Every structure is written in structure tokens, then in C-alpha cells.
Amino acid sequence: MIKTIRVMLIPNNKQKTKLFQYANTARFAYNWALGREQDNYKNGGKFISDGDLRKEFTQLKKTEEYAWLNKVSNNVTKQAIKDACEAYRDFFNGYTRFPRFKSKKHSMPKFYQDNVKIQFTDTHVKVEGFAASKKKNKQKLNWIRLAEHGRIPIANVKYMNPRIKYDGLNWWITIGMEYEDSSAFPSNEGIGIDLGIKDLAICSNGHKYQNINKTQKVKKLEKRKRRLQRSISRRYEKNKKGENYCKTSNLIKSEQELLKLNHRLTNLRQNYLHQTTSEIIKREPSFICMEDLNVKGIMKNRHLSKAVQQQCFGEFRRQMEYKSAWKNIPIILADRFFPSSKLCSCCGNIKKDLKLSDRIYKCECGNVIDRDYQASLNLKRYGKTTLEQQSVS
């Protein structure tokens, strides 16, 4: 299996300048390759392979107009061209939407590094190491400090697909490493998980994980965010000159503060999701059954859209899927129209008139139970039945 580690970088000012130069060059190569593919398609030509485009790009770097491309490693541009060709090919295979050109203003600055040349110590990473950098007039990044010491293994490790990204505040390095697959299969009792808005996750084993967005810490940050957004909006209207907006130094500082606040909220939610999913996986159940939620459809309800967005159901499911694969735990997704909340866990009766405001389920057979907990019990039974059917077939 391949596990990915993400560590923050602490570059100095010169290294920051070079990192942005590398990212901008990668963006230029990506857009150039995508433009060549589009022009070739409009003229009736077939798909151009990334190998042919790289050869053409090498000739382009020899011209006087694009001589500045020689200051950056060819591995950066080579992988950017390869990414563009792959995105273009995936669209025609029906996997993704049509690739768009990367914007200097809106796209995330990022670039690839050669997995052979990259080097790590406990405290630093050597992004680029050219033996003949002075002769080729290439700029070296040398050793960049890591924010976390000893996080990335050094000895007897094969690195895969190193990427460096900038999220608006900090530079990060993401690198994959191959680990041995786990041979053990959990034998504990399986669980069903019901996701909700009142609480994030309700498990059939009795564990309940609260909604972090209802805590005082997140509420105070959200209130501060709203006030800051209104303040920035008023400043823009105040500094408006005709049809244009004048950006003052104080306005730039406020926007930077808002960016830090958004990152803070995102990190809090991501950290809570990782803690929750890891705690569930550490119990090593024999299977995990969840609902296949139509999040896109739920988001159309304007009364629930913000609450659903903050819960990050898609991210919760993604983390559960890849973490359970590490432990050989099967993930079972219940049918989207499975009545997990309306189905009585005792008699099997379906209560069709159940409303969203009914938090306690009352059945004619005398069953009185929490609505969400009953849904998790039904999901557990659904998962157990599905596994039995698969083993028989």
C-alpha cells in the first residue's frame, strides 16, 4: 500500500521567491501543453503524446524568447506537460470534465519534484540538487527547513510522486511511500454508522461523535469571520473609485487575516474528522456500513446547505475508505433509498410519515428509540446481510 505524508516547509525569503518561480513555470508548461492539444484537435489532428510535446518544449526553450525556462529544472516542466496530457486523455475517456487553463490568480501554485533527486534529513529537505547548476544557469533551492522533525522516514524508503504546494499561507510538501500490506483481518463485531447534522456520526456500538460546529470554539471563530467579511466589504465600497476598487494596505492586512481565519476553521474540522475516523478504525470492526448519501441533493435545501457543507460528509467517507483499506476492513455502502431511519429495528415496519423533526422513533410494536441510533442499527444489519450474501455467492 502507498501512504502519503504532508509536512509544512519553512523557507527563507530567497527560497520563497524560487518556489514561486518553479510553480509559475509549471503552470506555464501545463497551459502550453493544453493549448497545443486543443489547437491540434480543432485542426483535425490526433492526440499528441506527452513525449512528443516534451521534445517540442525542449526546442522551445532554445529560442531567445523562452530562454528563462532554462533556469528551472526540466523535471518540473516535464511532469506539468504529462499532467496536462493525462487530464486531456481522461476527459475523452469520460473520467473527468474538460481540463481548464490554470489561472495565475486563482489556481494553487504547485509543482513536481524528481523522486530520485529529492533528499531528506530529520529537519530539512533538499528539493533541487544540480551538479552543474552554474553551467546551466539553473537556480538551486538547496535545503529547506521542515516544520516537523523526524516525520518523514529516511532509511530504506522509496519516495513516490513528491509535490510542493502553496495554500495561500504556507508551502507544503506531499510525498508518498510504499508500505507492506497488512495480512491481518479484524474479527470484532461490525458496526453501522449514521451521519447526521445534530451529531456527526452515531455508531451502532453506542459511540456518538458530536458536531464540532456546535462547539463554542468554532462558533466564536465563525462570528469573528462574519464580522471581518462585513468589514472588508464596507472598506471596498468606501474605497470605490468609479467602477474600480482601490485596495489599501489595511484592506490587504484584513484579507490576510481572513485567510488565516479560514485556514484555522478548515484545520479544526479536518483534525476532528481525522481523530473521529482513526478512533473508529482502531476498534478494528469486521465491517463498516454507511449510507450512500446524496450530498449534492441535500445541498439544494437552503435551510440545511450550510450545516451539511460544514459537516464534510464526503471527506468523512473518503477518510473511512482509505483508512479501512489499511486494516483490511470492508466498507459497505447502503443503497441510497434504503429507509434506515424509517425502518423499525424490532418488527421491520416502515414508518412512512416520519418527519425530520421527529428525533424519537415510536413504533406500533412498542419500540421507542432514538432515531439516529436506530438508523445505525439498521445499517449494521444491512451490512451483515450483504456480507452473508456475498460469501454465499
336-354 pLDDT tens trace:
888 888 888 888 888 888 8
State the pLDDT at residue 370: 87
- Which of 151-155, 302-306, 358-362 has the lowest average pLDDT? 358-362
State the pLDDT at residue 130: 40
- pLDDT band for position 318 (cuts 50, 70, 90): very high
Is the pLDDT score of 12 beyond 90? yes
Q: Alpha carbon of 209 to those of 84, 216, 276, 373, 377: distances in Å?
A: 41, 16, 7, 12, 16
Q: Where are the domains of the chain?
A: 2-178, 191-225+251-392
208-244: per-residue pLDDT in tens?
A: 999 999 999 999 999 999 999 999 999 999 888 888 8
State the pLDDT at residue 185: 85
Grid look-up 458530536 returns 210
Q: Which of 314, 335, 321 is nearest to 386 (CA)?
A: 335
Contacts of 316 (CB under 8 A, 6+ apart): 195, 200, 201, 273, 276, 277
- Which of 22-36, 73-87, 182-196 has the lowest average pLDDT? 182-196
State the pLDDT at residue 346: 84
Q: Which of 157, 201, 190 is nearest to 329 (CA)?
A: 190
C-alpha cell recorded at residue 40? 491540434
30-62: per-residue pLDDT in tens?
A: 999 999 999 998 988 888 999 999 999 999 999
State the pLDDT at residue 155: 82
CATH 3.30.420 for domain 191-225+251-392? yes
